[in-house]
Amino acid sequence: MIERLCDELEVPLRDRNTFHLSAGFAPAYTERPLADLGVARAAVDAVLRGHEPNPAMAINVRWDLLATNEAMRALLGGLDEQLLEPPVNALRAMLHPDGMASRVRNYTQWRAATLRRVRRQLERTAAAGLEDLLTELESYPAPPTSDEADPNPVNDLVMPVVLITDDGDLSLHHALTVFGAPRDITLDEIAIETFFPADEHSANLLRLLTHSQTAGAMPV
């Protein structure tokens, strides 16, 4: 009955264990580090490598980085060292004033969209640490270079994040991939966020960045 109710309510596996314990049963789901997930870890690595030259990263429910490909490491290169100390949080790295904020041309739009995602995640999972992360992200001021204008008015389907580089704007769409029917808590909370070029110039720029460096700072 616990499982049937949790299935209907889409309760995360971590919280299902709490229900099992409250009912007097042993936890039904295990939690292992990503490195111990065997074929699932291999699948994560395969997706990340296969997405080159486009950036991709594996994140948990709090957007902590679990793994990245070379293109994503290049994208995060050059940030303040404090933001790159484990556990690295992808949203903190993106929105913090000492992070990528000054590189994001459409920072105001991207920040609003990101905060909506965090609020939805908090409402759905109530994951530990998410509320504090949301409060922290909401406190960040917009950088002085933030551009209020729509950077890609031709595309009315998806809003890209637009990064400023020495070689012109790099516009990226993003998508999320999750594992179907997970039986492990870690796997249930993993998502692979992949970025795609929003235009031909961005596609060429990503190929150039990946070809010219295996890792390092993105030119800004």
Summarize pLDDT for 25-69 with one digit per residue, the tens: 999 998 888 888 889 999 999 999 999 999 999 999 999 999 999
Instruction: State phi, psi for 54 to the nearest 5 degrees.
Output: -90, 145
| Separation of alpha carbons 173 and 193, rounded Å | 10
57 forms beta bridges with 68, 193
| Res. 216: pLDDT tops 50 | no
191 forms beta bridges with 59, 178
Dihedral sign of CA atoms 151, 154, 160, 162 in order? negative
| Separation of alpha carbons 217 and 220, rounded Å | 8
| Separation of alpha carbons 43 and 168, rounded Å | 34
- Mean pLDDT in the chain? 87
**C-beta separation of 50 from 64 below 8 A:** no
Between the alpha carbon of residue 96 and those of residues 99, 163, 184, 188, the distances in Å are: 5, 15, 32, 28
Between the alpha carbon of residue 32 and those of residues 40, 62, 66, 110, 130, the distances in Å are: 11, 17, 13, 33, 20
Q: Which 3 state secondary structure label does DSSP give 195? A: strand
Mean pLDDT of 119-138: 92
The DSSP symbol for 189 reads: H
pLDDT of residue 80: 86
**C-beta separation of 77 from 217 below 8 A:** yes
CATH class of 33-212: alpha beta
Core vs surface per residue 154-179: b (16+ CB within 10 A) or e: eeeeebbbbbbeeeebbbbbbeeeeb
If we measure between CA atoms, which residue out of 205, 220, 219 comes closest to residue 55?
205
pLDDT band at 213 (very low <50, low <70, confident <90, very high): low
pLDDT of residue 147: 58
Summarize pLDDT for 75-104 with one digit per residue, the tens: 888 888 889 888 899 999 999 999 999 899
In the chain, what are the domain boundaries? 1-30, 33-212
pLDDT of residue 10: 86
Is it true that the peptide bond before 87 is cis, omega within 30 degrees of 0?
Answer: yes
Q: Residue 20's Cα: distance from chain center in Å?
A: 30
